[in-house]
Structure 1
Amino acid sequence: MEILTVITKEVFETYVPAAKMPERNSSVYNRLQQQFKDSYSMMIRTLVSPQCEGVLDTNEWLRTLAVPLVCVDAFVRTCRSLDLVLTATGFGIVSTESTAPASKSRVDALVEQLSLQELDLIDEIIQGLMKVEGWGLTEQAQMRVATLFYRPQQLKHMTTLKLTTDNWQLALGRATTASALLRNEISDEYMDELLVKLRTATMGNADIIVAQKCITFMADFISMYDLNGGIPNEVLLRQVVHQLESYRDSYPTYTGSTLYARRHAERYQNKREDPTFFFM
């Protein structure tokens, strides 16, 4: 928890400008002291992982991302209970009975803005953690990178949905369904391998090609779900399979899978002397 020592009032207000108060007024910052600790602990439990916590002391880049994440998360989780009032310099805490809290719509807009900022920070941290030895095999890695479609920027740049916190949660659910459809085409074995390689930053060029085609399919599935009721784009699915089948030597896990064996099982051939003919 060493990074908590660097979260001063000035540092906190740098990353959450909306909470900026006059120099002698530390009301918001003081109210968040326990939440800073809770947000840090949650970051370790759900993102960094206890076994990789030490990297925050040795990796300066990850440390510089973890500090604003703790600040933003602490404020987002607490601000609705602070009776915030909008002032000339930002959001302060109501200090008199004659001052009304800021409107719900303003607070909602602030929370949405900071929540999107939090998603970006988490995404950047994940990119760094993928290069940390051991992180990619942790429970936290499996939770944060559950499918190939795991980055908010994928939603923003590859789908027709606007990036909002609600749409992000919606997209994650649809991505799970799309991933299940892809498993039926590339095999469970190869999808599992792709995800491990993604989490550990060890994808080769052949893997990257398939992964990108899978992500394109997933983005289309997420975008078109409301229009076609979740019917998958068969053209995009065929493009994924075509890549695997055209360059089989580059995908040994796929060619060694049970799906591949079923897909290429030799069909029975009728012989002239057979007493019965089978039509398949």
Structure 2
Amino acid sequence: MFIITDNDRLLEHVPNVLAHVEGERSLFDKIHPWLTIAEQWVIDTFTGNETLQFIASDETSSVWAQTASVIVCEALQRAIPSLDLVLTPNGFGIVSNQNVAPASKERVERLISTLKANRDYAINLLLDSLQYIDSWQDSKQRSWFAATLLQSPRACKSAIRNPGSLDEWELFCASRVTAMNIESAIAEEFISPELMIRLRLALISHDASNDDLSLALRVRDCVLHEVDGKRRDVPALNRIVNFIRKYPDHFPEWVNSDTAKLFAPPVFENKKQSSGYFF
């Protein structure tokens, strides 16, 4: 592992842990398998190997703290259901003693929910920070997030009215698939696939122009409107198209696209040989 490499680093992110006595396994040792799984999940989903090693090289950076928080919260929420269980010759038992009583089911579930919320908050911060790391720019992880306008859990948290039992990350993953299909239709009918690519990149680039970023957010709002189960906001999309048409030099991708032709109907001319006339 690169980030959480010992018990001291782990405990920086875990409050209210009783100190272990000599001969007793540390929390790091107890949840080591889950820490390994969580770090690999972060590598596969967010950073890639090269970027994670870059992050690990500076433990004083904010991106290191964000990455560590994601790993620890993910590992703990996976491990907690097993931490108070021991396997005996007669089956599983609950760890207990005279000084510390086992936590109730409700408290444990609340802790797991809190860990997931903290993990998701750290994920949003991490995704913001990754934009500034050179090695991340050409990673397949960045390409995955840039494949849609919905690029972080926070993007859909406030837009989805009924998330059900899904946590923020689960809601993001579920909404992302729907968003991609909606974006494809909106691109073909209004924005153009070419300009849609540019707007997606604007949302994931720290140096995007304010105009591109503003337009990308307006289109994303329309996408989230549909992801939430509402009908397509055609008036809003038409206003966006009218804005784009006012600045053809700034949006050449749209001007030269097949989509633009949908907004430039043919001009009919009266001809003697025609069977009718247009007024």
**TM-score (norm. length: structure 1):** 0.78
RMSD (CA atoms): 3.2
Change (3 A) 1:144 1:263: same
Unaligned runs of 5+ in 2: 87-92
Deviation string 1:15-44 (CA, Å, 9 cap, x unpaired) is 2326x2234364543211122222222211
Change (3 A) 1:168 1:262: closer
Q: Summarize the alignment of residues 97-116 of structure 1 with structure 2, pairs less than 5 Å apart.
A: 102-116=103-117
Unaligned runs of 5+ in 1: 86-92
Which structure has greater helix proportion? 1
Residue 64 of structure 2 corresponds to residue 69 of structure 1: no
CA contact (8 A) 1:83 1:94 kept: yes
Structure 1 distance, partners of 2:172, 2:49, is 26
Q: Summarize the alignment of residues 112-191 of structure 1 with structure 2, pairs less than 5 Å apart.
A: 112-158=113-159, 160=161, 164-165=167-168, 167-184=171-188, 185-191=190-196
Identity among equivalent positions (%) equals 19
Structure 2 distance, partners of 1:168, 1:107, is 24
Q: Summarize the alignment of residues 40-55 of structure 1 with structure 2, pairs less than 5 Å apart.
A: 40-55=39-54
Change (3 A) 1:47 1:97: same
Residue aligned with 1:70, SS: helix
Deviation string 1:167-207 (CA, Å, 9 cap, x unpaired) is 44444344334323431310111111222333333321221
Change (3 A) 1:107 1:173: farther
Structure 2 distance, partners of 1:216, 1:198, is 13
Q: Which residue of 1 aligns with 2:256?
A: 256
Structure 2 distance, partners of 1:130, 1:255, is 29
1:47 Cα deviation after fit: 0.9
CA contact (8 A) 1:130 1:136 kept: yes
1:248 Cα deviation after fit: 1.9
1:271 Cα deviation after fit: 3.0
1:160 Cα deviation after fit: 4.1
Q: How many equivalent residue pairs?
A: 263
Change (3 A) 1:35 1:159: closer
1:159 Cα deviation after fit: 5.2
Q: Which residue of 2 aligns with 1:21?
A: 18
Change (3 A) 1:167 1:33: closer
1:269 Cα deviation after fit: 1.9
Residue aligned with 2:249, SS: helix
Deviation string 1:187-232 (CA, Å, 9 cap, x unpaired) is 1111112223333333212211211211222333344x1xxxx421
Change (3 A) 1:159 1:278: farther
Change (3 A) 1:16 1:146: farther
Structure 2 distance, partners of 1:239, 1:58, is 48
Structure 2 distance, partners of 1:120, 1:146, is 22
Q: Summarize the alignment of residues 196-275 of structure 1 with structure 2, pairs less than 5 Å apart.
A: 196-223=201-228, 225=229, 230-264=230-264, 267-275=266-274
1:141 Cα deviation after fit: 1.2
Structure 1 distance, partners of 2:94, 2:251, is 62
Residue 191 of structure 2 corresponds to residue 193 of structure 1: no
Shifted more, 161-170 versus 239-248: the winner is 161-170
Q: Which residue of 2 aligns with 1:34?
A: 33
Q: Which residue of 1 aligns with 2:10?
A: 12
Change (3 A) 1:144 1:116: farther
CA contact (8 A) 2:38 2:71 kept: yes
CA contact (8 A) 2:203 2:216 kept: no
Structure 2 distance, partners of 1:133, 1:117, is 27
1:62 Cα deviation after fit: 1.6
CA contact (8 A) 1:213 1:239 kept: no
Change (3 A) 1:95 1:246: same
Structure 1 distance, partners of 2:71, 2:103, is 24
